[in-house]
């Protein structure tokens, strides 16, 4: 009968404060045309997204019809405590790198902090249409720091992000930015 995995519909255990839901990965996207973060292709969640980092990798790929370029993949816990992933490229990737560099120079890690990603309007010289780039700031200490630390000890390796990326790539569906810096 093939490989069948039952979806447990009666498991509705409410998360305790600080617990994370890690049995599947929520796919966030940054839509840099609309200036909003979304889950999937149509569930918009506004111009800000708070993240508590688990891990991040930079790799090259041809995701979602974009030419070969660098992508920043972030594995994080979202505000609802759900294990999540998102991809950034071009200007947004550079913005994240600058935040990381700033904290490294202070001798601090971005782990155990809440990082707010927010859409910032940019003017486009090419066609006059504006777009959004994502900028990042640390807004507070993280409320999932203990759970994330446990998760990193037990489950996290950079390969985990690679597995998520390859799933995104195969489906042709994922959480890439749209339009920001796309080359023709």
Q: What would the two tokens of residue 89 be?
A: 């490229």
pLDDT given at position 178: 39
For residue 126, the number of C-alpha atoms closer than 13 Å in the C-beta half-sphere is 9
d(CA 109, CA 90): 23
Q: Taking a C-beta distance cutoff of 8 angstroms, is the pair 35, 121 a contact?
A: yes
Distances (CA, A) of 74 to 44, 86, 127: 19, 6, 30
For residue 37, the number of C-alpha atoms closer than 13 Å in the C-beta half-sphere is 24
| Tens digit of pLDDT at every position of the chain (184 positions) | 566 777 777 777 788 888 898 888 899 999 888 899 999 888 999 999 999 999 999 988 887 788 899 999 999 999 999 999 999 998 999 999 999 999 999 999 999 999 999 999 988 766 667 889 999 999 999 999 999 999 999 888 777 777 666 665 544 444 344 343 333 3
pLDDT given at position 15: 81
* 3-class state of residue 154 by DSSP: helix
Tell me which residue has tokens 């560099």.
101
pTM: predicted TM-score of the whole model, two decimal places: 0.81
pLDDT given at position 13: 74
N residues, the chain: 184
Question: Nearest 10 degrees: CA dihedral of 15, 17, 22, 26?
Answer: 90
- Listed in order, strand segments (DSSP E) in 107-160 are 113-122, 131-141
């Amino acid at each position: 009968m093939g490989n069948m995995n039952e979806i447990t519909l009666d498991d509705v255990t409410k998360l305790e404060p600080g617990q994370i839901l890690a049995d599947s990965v929520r796919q966030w996207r940054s839509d840099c045309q609309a200036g909003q973060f979304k889950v999937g292709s149509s569930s918009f969640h506004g111009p800000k997204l708070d993240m508590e980092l688990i891990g991040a990798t930079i790799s090259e790929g041809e995701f979602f019809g974009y030419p070969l370029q660098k992508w920043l993949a972030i594995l994080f816990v979202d505000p609802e405590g759900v294990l999540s992933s998102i991809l950034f490229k071009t200007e947004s990737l550079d913005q994240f790198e600058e935040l990381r560099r700033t904290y490294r120079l202070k001798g601090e890690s971005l782990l155990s902090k809440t990082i707010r990603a927010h859409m910032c309007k940019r003017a486009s010289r090419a066609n006059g249409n504006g777009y959004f780039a994502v900028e990042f700031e640390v807004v507070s200490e993280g409320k999932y720091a203990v759970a994330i630390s446990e998760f990193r000890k037990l489950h996290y390796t950079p390969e985990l992000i690679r597995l998520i990326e390859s799933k995104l790539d195969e489906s042709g569906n994922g959480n890439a930015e749209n339009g920001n810096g796309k080359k023709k």
